Chain A
Amino acid sequence: MTVVVLRVLIVVAVLLGWEIAGRLANPLLYVPPSAAVPALRDLLALRSYPDFPEHLLLTLREIAVAYGLAIAAGVGCGAALGLNRLVGRAYGPILAALYAVPAVVWYPSLMLFFGLDAASKIAFGFLLGFFPITLAVLAGIRQVNPQLITVARAFGASRLTVFRKVMLPAMLFTLVGGLRTGLALAVIGVIVGEVLGSKAGLGSLINHAYGLFRTADYVALVLVTLALIVACDAVASALERRAQRWTHLQ
């Protein structure tokens, strides 16, 4: 309860500070909440950007595809690296090193390869989401108690059964953590990609509003993006809590 009160308090304080500072300085640059709210209303009522739903939908589709690909490739690569010691020793460090490179440096190449349309955004979202998922699967497999695998084998489990009945449950918590980070990064990747250069999508609208100095519309779009990210993360974090509760039975 106190936590909620404290949270509300900080939000109110920030909004209030923002309102005062925005009005005192320059309402055009520092869009105060009193200007942002009508802009948000205009945006949602499709007055400022009538094609807003199409852009939002496109962004959501890009995120879904990027994230789906990141999960498939991440789980596949993580399993290959984790289950085969030689492959893991050979390629694991390369992967970790690549993860440390600020991913945005790849983006110009992706635009050259995939063009200005959705493909380059999907590729960027995928690239960002792929690493944490792969590394989580890898770490998850490595932390499985080998004795559990020996026991399962002694009871006649095949390799697939060992993976399903022993490894997957044993690494669930780590895996879900990686999936959550992967989702957040895939969302960031797609939106950053759109902002950096695109013809459609939430990011392109942000760019458009910003470029035309429609600062209130820009703030409204940022708020929508924020809501989108918070919603994605809330779903992921709920799943993570379930996995945690389950895992903590250990």
Chain B
Amino acid sequence: MKYAYYPGCSSHSTARDMHESAAAVARALGIELVEIAGWSCCGATAAHQTDRVLAASLPAANMLLAKQMGLDMVVTCAACYNRMKVANHEVSSSPAMQKKVADAVGRPYDGSVAVRHLIEVLLEDVGIEKLRKSFKQSLAGLKVAAYYGCLMVRPHDITGFDDAENPTSLDRLVEAMGGQGVEWPCKVDCCGGGLNLTRTDVVVKLSGSIIDMAGAAGADCIAVACPMCQASLDLRQKDMQRLSGKRYEMPIVYVTQLLGLCLGIPPKELGLSRLMVSPSAVLQSLSAKG
């Protein structure tokens, strides 16, 4: 299992915890992630809001690098995953767009590099059975609200990730770890991430209602696979408190951090101390696998 790894910009900044836990989990499971040398930004939200050719060309430049490596691309950030897949769709469905992207990048790209989220690799290539066997610890019934957000599941005809309205990938991982995936209606709701700096008031409301719903469903924590979701839900809990007067203390962990703990990786290597709302109280109940 060898892949061209695209970490994405947030891996070195606001989502070092995502990067650290993904790398540690991959190592423990024998997944070889070869970082793409010279990778650059996918353009995220700003490029597609500005210019369609720019939004397709920035990802294309990176997929060309993966193509040279002869490997499938693996992405951990939901936004990068989305932009790569949309760019593949843009160039492979329109010869005119393919030509413009080739002119902009300086080399032709046909949209043929397979782009996969690490979650897909874990479920499809490693498989639940092997994961189960590799776990040394159990979540011991911990109630986890699996939160998918927008960018992995939509647009579903292009990303093809799981199910558009009721995905279960993260829930299956949680259950394999001995946790309990809670039934809740906000799995694919938007956290408001795109407006985090510009209209914080909207983000606080949207993210606040997601945490409220997870709490009402009995969740001990929320598991995410997107750095924007993680930031909105984790960083904004004091703002939610100010707005509503209610107390917010919901740990927002990356699913790779939970996987790492169950694989017996020390918390320090999983970036758990970087989270704003400390997960240590709820993760105390982890037990050796019986």
**Do A and B interact?**
no
Interface residues of A (CB under 8 A from B): none
Interface residues of B (CB under 8 A from A): none
